[in-house]
Amino acid sequence: MNYRRISGALILLLLFGAAAQAQETNAPPESSKMFTEARQISEGSPPAFEFELSGFTYRINGNGAGRRVKGEQTRRFNLRLDGGDYVERFYFAEYRDNVLLLCGVTNGESVAGFVARLEQPSMRTRWKQFIPAFNVGAGLIKDGHAYLTGINFVARLDLRTGEYVWKHDHLERGRGGGDFNSFEVPSIEGDAVLFREKPTGKSPARTIRVNRKTGKINGIE
């Protein structure tokens, strides 16, 4: 066995990976874009979802089993949900030739969510991050980060590592108390990210203003 050749190939692979990470870390500013909700194609339990992206059709069952199809070519993958969990809400986005999946999941009693980054063309899961909130909303992508929402939950996630930069849960509405409802798609204003509550008809919708870098809540309007 030619160990020298194997070692050389391994070094090249490591250097390529490091270069790709450095390129992503030092990427120039990007325009913001939002996640898109996938079509629900089955009313059963668990449901099934479908969407098109970059010439491929993606079909994902509520149990996390999925396939990417283009003509005669099919690649299968699995989101590996916990036992008894199934997807009840599904968003997607393209990011640096990879696929981002943003999901609300339930086991029939408790509800939460996750976001995952799947590499192309292998469909290997690069990372997967838990979202400790239900009613996960359509997030916003900006400059290598995702801004995520759920009931009483807002966060900024690093899309390179899959780790939270900051997050706030157990939020309270301030004057009058009570919980925050679900949110509209976040928006960026300079150094701030605005999380606007969806109106419920019971109380005025409010907006949380958060410093993008530090995560400090600068006001609830």
Q: Three-state SS across 184-216? A: CCCEEECCEEEEEECCCCCCCCCEEEEECCCCC
CATH number belonging to domain 32-170? 2.40.128.630
Report the pLDDT value the prediction gives residue 83, as an integer from 0 to 100. Answer: 85
Give the model's confidence band at 122: pLDDT under 50 very low, under 70 low, under 90 confident, else very high.
very high
Give the model's confidence band at 9: pLDDT under 50 very low, under 70 low, under 90 confident, else very high.
very low
pLDDT in tens, 137-164: 999 999 999 999 998 899 999 999 999 9
Give the model's confidence band at 184: pLDDT under 50 very low, under 70 low, under 90 confident, else very high.
very high
Give the model's confidence band at 172: pLDDT under 50 very low, under 70 low, under 90 confident, else very high.
low
Quote the mean pLDDT of the chain: 86
d(CA 29, CA 7): 37
Answer for the pair 81, 63: CB distance below 8 angstroms, yes or no: yes
Give the model's confidence band at 19: pLDDT under 50 very low, under 70 low, under 90 confident, else very high.
very low
pLDDT in tens, 90-117: 999 999 999 999 999 998 888 899 999 9
Residue in 122, 221, 141, 152 with CA at minimum distance from that of residue 186: 141
Tokens 């980060």 locate to 145
Domain boundaries, the chain: 32-170
CB-CB neighbours of 180 under 10 Å: 24
Higher model confidence: residue 63 or residue 29? 63
Report the pLDDT value the prediction gives residue 10, as an integer from 0 to 100. Answer: 44
Report the pLDDT value the prediction gives residue 28, as an integer from 0 to 100. Answer: 55
Supply the DSSP string of 82-138, one letter for each residue: PTT-EEEEEEEEEETTEEEEEEEEE-SS-EEEEEEEE-TTT--EEEEEEE--SS---
What is this structure's pTM? 0.83
Report the pLDDT value the prediction gives residue 123, as an integer from 0 to 100. Answer: 95
**Residue 18 pLDDT > 60, yes or no?**
no
Report the pLDDT value the prediction gives residue 198, as an integer from 0 to 100. Answer: 86
